[in-house]
Amino acid sequence: MLPEGYELRPLQQEDSPALAAAYRRNREHLAPWDPARPERFFTDEGHAEEVARQLEAEAAGRRYGFVLWYGDGTVAGRVNIDNIVRGVLQSCTIGYWLDHEHLGKGLATRMVEFGVEVARDLGLHRIEAGTLLHNTKSQAVLQRAGFREFGVAEKFLFIAGKWQDHVLFQRVLHDDPPGNPQTPERVGESVTENNELKAPPVVFPGQARPESAFRTAFDLLARRAPKEALEVLEPALAEEPGNTGLRTLRAWAYLMRAQLQRAEEELTQLVEENPTDDWAQHALGRCLERQSRYAEALPHLRLAAAMSGDPDHGLAALRVERFLEDE
């Protein structure tokens, strides 16, 4: 769980001025670990361009970025899932940094654990990270988050003006066969690698347009296209805002896009309206778990496991119990 006052949120275009200010504050602090940056990178205008490029890559499914906020709007750090490769590899890399004024609070470990959950929910098999040879603090963070060292890459990245060796770490997330959600044989299926959230039950609303929207959005989500699914769902929900089936799919789409606050709000309402909805209970627990709010997640995960009898639900509850025991 993040310390009080901190929150991880998905990267948004409007974050760029605060991010630029954070990079300016931490320019000297980050210089030994970062590639050389052009002066424009540290300006509000230049960083707006950088965020736009990153969001374009997110829309293409190549990366996902998150910002650590503190208090009333200070950027305290970032964690990014990058270099997503599907096919037979199903892999990604993770990167992170903290503001120099927010070190020593366990935040880096929590951010890496959060990134692991994002990668897991994306159905990825493996997550990799690299550190400079002398960056022992970052190596300790990765080890606390379950990563294992697997080698040294010589002259691996051009950092601080020269090619530098890196220690490589990885964490294997599951042993299931590869299943690229975008390959034809996956279309229309529920993606269930490891403990990834299963699709909600298919219950059609009963009216022509909402039913059509439900079918279309469900198919898009099964294809791992949450942005396109939301574009279908929002107009239908404007016409029928109380439709439980459409709202359930919207919550699923928010989770896929790692819009955790919106997902939490939607799922909390669904659970309050129908406490016997085991899918919503489990999804809410997973949403809270991804925010490292394990104590809040556990009751929902346990209840979902008891109601559904689903082994995956039971495993999710056990996983969170272990996290709490380790704290």
Instruction: List, in order of start, the domains of the chain with CATH numbers.
Output: 6-172 (3.40.630.30), 184-326 (1.25.40.10)
Distance CA 47, CA 21 (A): 9
Q: Fill in the amino acid letter for 277.
A: D
Residue 133 has what DSSP assignment? T
Given a contact cutoff of 8 angstroms between Cβ atoms, the answer to whether 51 and 15 are in contact is yes
- Closest by CA position to 114, among listed 137, 81, 73: 81
Tell me the C-alpha to C-alpha distance, in Å, between residue 320 and each of 126, 135, 289, 292, 301. Answer: 20, 30, 7, 9, 9
Tokens of 313: 């639900």
CA distances from 278 to 72, 252, 258, 272, 282 (A): 35, 14, 21, 12, 6
Contact 74, 106 (CB under 8 A): no
Contact criterion met (CB below 8 Å) for 94 and 119: yes
Distance CA 183, CA 175 (A): 19
With beta carbons less than 8 A apart as the criterion, state whether 289 and 258 touch: no
| Distance (Å) of CA 150 to CA 71, 90, 117, 124, 167 | 38, 18, 21, 19, 8
**Tokens describing residue 49:** 């361009």
Q: Going residue by residue through the chain, which has 327 residues, state the pLDDT in tens, using 9 for 90 and above.
A: 678 888 888 888 889 999 999 999 999 999 888 888 889 999 999 999 999 998 888 877 888 999 999 987 899 999 999 999 888 888 999 999 999 999 998 899 999 998 998 888 888 899 999 999 999 999 999 999 999 999 999 999 999 888 999 999 999 988 777 654 433 232 223 333 344 566 565 444 443 445 678 888 888 887 778 888 899 999 999 989 989 989 999 999 998 887 888 999 999 999 999 999 999 999 999 999 888 788 999 999 999 999 988 888 888 888 889 878 876
Rounded to whole angstroms, the Cα distance separating 111 from 103 reads: 13
User: Residues 122, 102: contact at Cβ < 8 Å?
Assistant: no
Amino acid at 57: A
By CB atoms closer than 10 A (0-12, 13-18, 19+), residue 231 is middle
Q: Which residue, chain included where needed, has tokens 């080698």?
A: 151
Q: What is the phi/psi pair of residue 274, to 5°?
A: -145, 85
